[in-house]
Amino acid sequence: MKKNKLFVIAFALMGLLVSCDDAINIIQDGEVNNPDQVYNSVQDLQRGLNGVYAVFSTENTIEFNALFTDEVAIGYQNGGQGLNDGLYNFQLNAGTGAATGIWGSNYRVINFANRILAQAPRVFDQIENTDEEQNAIDVATYNYVIGELHAIRAFATFQLLSYYSTNLKDDSALGVMILDFVPDNQYNTFLPRSTNAECFAFIEKDLAIADEMLAPAANPTRVSPVFVSALRARMAAYRGRYTEVLPYVNSLISQFPLATKANYPKIWTDTSLDEIIFKLARVSGDFRVGSYWASASSSYTGSPFFEVGRSLYNLFGAGDVRGGASLVDPTSKISTNPAGTPNYKEDDVLVINKYPGNTAQSDVLLNDIKVFRVAEMYLLKAEALAASGNLNGAGSNSVAGVLRLLRNARYGATQPLPVFADATAAWSEILTERRKELALEGFRYLDIKRLGVLAGNRGVERYSRDCEQYNACTLAPTDYRFTMPIPTTELTANPNIRGQQNPGY
C-alpha cells in the first residue's frame, strides 16, 4: 500500500546542511519555531505546501535573461535600470544581485519543502487513527502533497545546476550543494559543492518519488505528472542526453495542442490555458512581472524603462503572432528606418507587452508565470532530432518538419519547409526559433550557453544602436560569464565552498 512506502521514503533521505543563512536558517517574525506546533494533520501539510508555492518563483531568471542578453534594450524612460547594476553591460560577479537572488530564492524553496517533508512521517502516523473513509481521503491528499514537494525540490535543484554548473553534460563538473535536511539553528555544517552526477542522482530520486505519488491534475497551477515529464525532457536536453528526450516530448505534444494564432495572445493575458503544461499563479498583491520593464503599464505612456530589443524584433516575419501585439504594445512607435533615424531612442520605442496584466483581475503588469509550455517541447524535440542527424524533410521526425509545425501555428497558415545544409545550420535555426518563441520567459542566457557553440559560435546579438553607447553589443557563448558565480554571501559564510568558485570570477 502506498502509505507504508511513503513512511520508508520519508526517512530514507540522509540529512545535509547548508550555510546560506538568508535562504535556509530563516525564522520570520511571528513564525512558529517548533514545527510540531504547526504540522499535526494532512490539512496542515497542505497549508505548508501552499507556503512553498508562495515562494516558488522563476521571475528573477526572467529579468536576468532579458537584461544580460539581447532580449531587451534600454528604454526611453530608463532611469538607470540595468545600467547602475551593470547587467546590461555584461558586468557579472559574485556580488551581483542576480547571482545572489537566483541562488538564494531556489535554496529558499528547497528549505521550505524540506521543513514540511521532515514533519510528514509524524503526520502520516496519525492517519492510522482515522476511520476507513477518512483514511482513504487523507492518504490520497498526503501522497499528492509529498509528490508535489519532491517535484518542486527537484525543479529548484535543477535551476541551481543550470545556472551555477559550468557544463551540465559533464557529470564530474562541480554542481551545487545538495540540501535534503532541515538545518539545526544551533549550529552550521558547511557543505562543499557536489558533482553534477551527485546532484542529478538527488534530483532523480526526487522525481521517482513524485512519479509514485502524483496523480493527474486538471489545474495547470498544480504540480502533476506532466510537470515531471516536462522537467525530465528539459533536463535530459540540457545534459545532452537526447535519446531520453523524445518519449517525454512526444507524450506531452500528444496531450497539449499548440494554441491557434487567434488564441496565442490570450496566453499572455491569462485568458486561455492553451498549451500550458504548468504555470505559477499570480494574484493581486503578488509581484508584478511586467514591472521589470515599465513603471505604470505596458504602453508608450507607461514609463517603459526597457523595450524589446531591436535585434529580437527584427526576427519576426509579417504575420507571425509572436512578434505582434503579444510582444510589442500597439502604442509603440515603430520606426521604418531604425538605422537612419537621427532620434533613435525617441522614434523607435518598442514597448514590451508580453506581461500586460491579467485581464480577468484587471491588474496591470501582473501575470501568471508560464514555466512549461508545449511549444518548448516542440523545440526540445527539434534539438533531439538535430542531435541524431534528422535534419531535413516534412513531418514530425525531422528538425525542418518540427519547426514548420510550430511556425504554422504561429502564422496561422502553412509555412515554407526549411532546408538545412548541415548540422550547424540546423542548430542555428533552432537557437533562433527558441529566441523568438521563448522570448522574455527566462531561457535566452542558458540557450546561448548550451547551444551557442553548436549553432556556429552565436552569442549575444544586440542591435548596434541598442548597445554601441554602452560598449556592450556581443558576448561569445564561450565567455565565462555564461556560468553564474557562487555568490559572495555563500563564499563568506561557507569555508568549504571558497575554493570552488567558478572559473573567471
181 and 305 co-located in one domain: no
| Residue 303 maps to a domain | yes
Instruction: Tell me: do 289 and 174 sit in the same domain.
Output: no
How far apart CA 257 and CA 259 sit, in angstroms, is 6
**Separation of alpha carbons 227 and 130, rounded Å:** 32
Say whether both 44 and 131 belong to one domain. yes
Query: Does 396 reside within a domain?
Result: no
pLDDT in tens, 35-60: 556 888 999 999 999 999 999 999 99
- Domain extent, residue 208, equals 1-215+480-505
Q: Please indicate, yes or no, if residue 254 is contained in any of the structural domains.
A: no
* Three-state DSSP state, 137: helix
Is 460 in a helix, a strand, or coil? strand
Instruction: Please write the tens of the pLDDT for every residue from 169-179.
Output: 999 999 999 99
- Statement to judge: residues 298 and 201 lie in one domain: no
Q: Are residues 61 and 144 in the same domain?
A: yes
- pLDDT band for position 30 (50/70/90)? very low
Same domain, yes or no: 49 and 184? yes
Cβ partners under 8 Å of residue 386, min gap 6: 399, 423, 426, 427, 430
Do 34 and 177 belong to one domain?
Answer: yes
- What is the tens place of the pLDDT at every residue in 64-101? 999 999 999 999 999 999 999 999 999 999 999 999 99
Measured distance CA(85)–CA(432) in Å, rounded: 28
pTM attached to this predicted model: 0.93
CA 436 to mean position of chain CA atoms: 16
Domain assignment present for 363: yes
Domain count, the chain: 2
Any domain includes 229: no
Rounded distance between C-alpha atoms, residue 385 and residue 242, angstroms? 8
- Percent of the residues in the chain that have a pLDDT greater than 90, as a whole number: 86
Same domain, 208 and 307: no
Q: How many CA atoms lie within 13 A of 180 on its CB side?
A: 19
Helix (H, G, I), strand (E, B) or coil at 280: strand
Same domain, yes or no: 299 and 170 = no
Q: Measured between alpha carbons, how far is 180 from 202 in angstroms, rounded to an integer?
A: 9
The one-letter code for the residue type at 248 is Y
Task: Answer yes or no: are the C-beta atoms of 391 and 420 closer than 8 Å.
Answer: yes
Q: Does the residue 420 lie in any domain?
A: no
- According to the model, what pLDDT value does residue 36 have? 59
- Residue that is last in its domain, among 324, 350, 367: 367
Same domain, 162 and 286: no
Whether residue 211 is found in the same domain as residue 293: no
| Lowest-confidence region among 42-46, 68-72, 148-152, 378-382 | 42-46
Q: For position 12, what pLDDT does the model report?
A: 29
**Rounded to whole angstroms, how far apart are CA atoms 143 and 42?**
10
Q: 11: which residues sit within 8 A by CB, 6+ positions away?
A: 121
Residue 256 lies in a domain: no
Compute the distance between CA of residue 428 and CA of residue 417 in angstroms, rounded to an integer: 16
Tell me the CATH number at 51: 1.25.40.390
Grouping H, G, I as helix, E, B as strand and the rest as coil, residue 150 is helix
Q: How far apart are CA 16 and CA 194, in angstroms?
A: 12
Domain final residue pick, 343, 367, 391: 367
Q: What is the mean pLDDT of residues 107-129?
A: 90
- pLDDT per position as a tens digit, 413-427: 999 999 999 999 999
Residue 359 lies in a domain: yes
Domain-terminating residue out of 367, 382, 397: 367
Both 190 and 313 in a single domain? no
Alpha helices in 13-131 (DSSP H): 42-55, 59-68, 97-127
d(CA 45, CA 47): 5
